[in-house]
Amino acid sequence: MNENEQVERYLDENRQRFEQELYELLRIPSISTDNRRAKDVRRAAKWLRDHLQGLGLQTELIETTGHPVVYAESAPVAGAPTLLVYGHYDVQPAEPLDEWLSPPFEPSVREGNVYARGATDDKGQMLTHINSAEAWLRAAGGLPVQLKFFLEGEEEIGSENAMRVLEQRAEQLGCDAVVVSDSSQLGPDRPAITYALRGIAYYELLLTGPARDLHSGVFGGAVTNPANALAHLLAAMVDADGRIQLPGFYDDVLELSAEERRRFAEIGFDEPAFMERIGVSGLSGEAGYTTLERRWARPTFDVNGLWGGYQGEGSKTVLPARAAAKLSFRLVPDQRPEQISRALRTFVAERALPGIDWELVEHNMAPAVLVPLESAFLSAAARSVEAVFGTPPVFIREGGSIPIVAAFKQGLQADTLLLGWGLDDDNAHSPNEKLSLRDFHRGIRASAYLWQQASLISRSKTSG
């Protein structure tokens, strides 16, 4: 039996255990945004650290001012490249809880899918690379490439601390390419490799008016209402054609080429099915672009939260003292979050109304990423995916953001392979999140194959 066959056999024999281990990790409610869950987040980090240590890797739990980073590395392999695997063990909150068919932190298998918060985003996808490494270590006596694992607990809140660790340890984390599975296939049995992600600029805008809530009959019409002012501001942000009105917003936008638009059109995106899946009766967006172009390659503005004034039952004639919104822009290459922040401040300042103070708090900031399509690692990944899924991957872009990916390019000069094993209807961030167990195992296989394919890329071709 050659090494590949030994690895294959090991994977076959350990399917059940890999699933059980995934369920163990899914039982830990590692919700990064919720401080009351900080102990659970740490428990997930330690679970991973112990697991990687058990495989014989050098491990370290890297403390930060927030949640820890789990680091592990295998032995260097002379002449073969080093790959950095990135993943995140934190999850989004599970609310609304009453919409889950089974409890979010009690994994439940139905029709070949495991349902739990974090199943696809990102515990299941992340584990595929750990399991494939195990197979090589145990069945073949070692990995054909050096692997470094960089697993963080703050992706869902912007990765600020992980980025700091990356800066401080650029040398230790040095690699020839990064591998991330935290995205999706194009659809069932339509594997994909993602070559672009959108960036993000996320803010909270707070408007303050009178010193206290006022009677809207006595004072309304003369005193500026912060909720009215906020509504005006937000409405002014996008025109009737869906164009964002911040000064200079489109200056750095990399336009889609005719060739890329043609490739998007060839993908055969089923718009009615898409609408049905998300339960909408119509779609809207920037004029002149298709739905795929709008989601993958155009910048957007969204209000993510909005409050102010009376929210209770019935009516209350109040002129609220405050109103606020959480808002975000999804960015495309080559927009810069700092430029967006400056433009937003100018935009708000220019529309300031008498009697209103405003405060703008910055949350998540990350530029978009665009991965070059012509790279030996990308070809190796495509071959690995095809070998396992039986069909070559489609090259797609996606609309979500993985904040640290741009920093890998900046800080490590490494491009990232975005190998998504999920599906866009996996309900990431929503109730009833799931992952197909068949795709979990196919992901493990493709990953195992990737290590072997990547080992054939000589280091001299990649460095310098």
Binding ligand BES (rule: CB under 6 A), the pick from 68, 118, 191, 400 is 400
**Closer to ligand BES at the Cβ: 298 or 322?**
298
The listed partner (Zn ion, ligand BES, none) that binds 182, CB under 5 to 8 Å by sort, is ligand BES
Binding ligand BES (rule: CB under 6 A), the pick from 132, 184, 416, 427 is 184
**Closer to ligand BES at the Cβ: 304 or 346?**
304
Least distance from ligand BES to the Cβ atom of residue 277, Å: 14
Q: What is the DSSP string of 318-387?
A: EE-SEEEEEEEEEE-TT--HHHHHHHHHHHHHHT--TT-EEEEEEEEEE--EE--S--HHHHHHHHHHHH
Counting Cβ atoms within 10 Å, is residue 359 exposed (0-12), middle (13-18) or buried (19+)? exposed
- Residue found under tokens 């607990």: 153
Residue nearest to Zn ion (CB): 121
Position 402 contacts ligand BES (CB under 6 A): yes
Least distance from ligand BES to the Cβ atom of residue 328, Å: 8
Distance (Å, whole) CA 454 – CA 351: 54
- Site residues for ligand BES, 205-224, by CB under 6 A, read none
Q: Which two tokens mark 79?
A: 């002449």
DSSP classification of residue 183:
S
The listed partner (Zn ion, ligand BES, none) that binds 154, CB under 5 to 8 Å by sort, is none
Least distance from ligand BES to the Cβ atom of residue 400, Å: 2
Q: Give 74's contacts (C-beta < 8 A, 6+ positions apart).
A: 57, 58, 133, 137, 142, 143, 146, 147, 148
Least distance from ligand BES to the Cβ atom of residue 90, Å: 9
The span of 61-69, 121-129, 333-341, 378-386 binding Zn ion (CB under 5 A) equals 121-129
**Closer to ligand BES at the Cβ: 195 or 249?**
195
Distance (Å, whole) CA 388 – CA 213: 63
Q: What is the DSSP string of 227-283?
A: HHHHHHHHHHTB-TTS-B-STTTTTT--PPPHHHHHHHHHT---HHHHHHHHT-S--
Binding ligand BES (rule: CB under 6 A), the pick from 73, 121, 426, 439 is 121
Distance (Å, whole) CA 55 – CA 129: 13
**Closer to ligand BES at the Cβ: 207 or 405?**
405
The listed partner (ligand BES, Zn ion, none) that binds 443, CB under 5 to 8 Å by sort, is none
- Residue found under tokens 């350990």: 14
Binding ligand BES (rule: CB under 6 A), the pick from 113, 132, 300, 364 is 364
Position 121 contacts Zn ion (CB under 5 A): yes
H helical segments located in 98-192: 124-139, 160-168
Name the site residues for ligand BES (rule: CB under 6 A).
Answer: 121-122, 155-156, 158, 182-184, 197, 200, 364, 398, 400-403
Name the site residues for Zn ion (rule: CB under 5 A).
Answer: 121
